[in-house]
Amino acid sequence: MNQDTLKVDNQGRVMLPSWWRKKQGISPSSELCIAVTEEGAIVIETREQGLRRAQALVRKYIPEGVSLSDELIAERRAEAARELEQSE
């Protein structure tokens, strides 16, 4: 793990280390996500990193080979078919 020391300026801003910005492909217009852990630590990540982290968390609870989107589509189609039958 890389570590660095950041200084806070008089307006509360910090400069992100250039090695991290280069490694993550961060440009001046990039949007970053920030989270504060229960312990008070700040986590800064790109949207892509956050998405990958969220997908990994969800994947732990879904069996291999299961597609939630396919299951949702099948449920919606079955529901629509039931509604169509009831309206006839």
Confidence of residue 75 (pLDDT cuts 50, 70, 90): very high
pLDDT of 52 above 80? yes
Radius of gyration from C-alpha coordinates of the chain:
22
pLDDT confidence of residue 51: 92
pTM of this structure: 0.56
Closest residue by Cα to residue 26 from 35, 42, 15: 15
